[in-house]
Amino acid sequence: MRFVACWKTSFFGVVAGLFLGSFIGWLTISSLGMLLGPGDPGPALAMGLLITFTALWVGTIPALLYGPLAYALLLYYERANVLSVIASGALPAAILFVAEPIWPALDGLAMWVLAYGVPVSLATHLVVRFGRI
Distances (CA, A) of 66 to 33, 56, 62, 69, 126: 31, 15, 6, 6, 18
Q: 12-38: per-residue pLDDT in tens?
A: 999 988 888 888 878 877 787 778 777
Reported pTM: 0.81
Section 71-80 average pLDDT:
93
Instruction: Indicate whether 133 pLDDT > 60.
Output: no
Counting the structural domains of the chain, the total is 1
- Per-residue model confidence (pLDDT) at position 43: 80
Residue 39, C-beta contacts closer than 8 angstroms, at least 6 positions apart: none
Residue numbers of the domain that contains 10? 3-130
CA triplet 61, 26, 110: central angle to 5 degrees? 50
Instruction: Indicate whether 56 pLDDT > 80.
Output: yes
Cβ pair 117, 80 in contact under 8 A: no
Greater model confidence, 47 or 126: 126
Cα separation, 112 vs 120, whole angstroms: 12
- Helix, strand, coil content of the chain in percent (nearest 5): 85, 0, 15
- Per-residue model confidence (pLDDT) at position 116: 82
Range ranked top by mean pLDDT from 40-49, 86-95, 96-105, 124-133: 86-95
pLDDT band at 132 (very low <50, low <70, confident <90, very high): low
- Per-residue model confidence (pLDDT) at position 73: 93
Cβ pair 100, 47 in contact under 8 A: no
DSSP state string for 20-78: HHHHHHHHHHHHHHHHHS-S--HHHHHHHHHHHHHHHHHHHHHHHHHHHHHHHHHHHTT
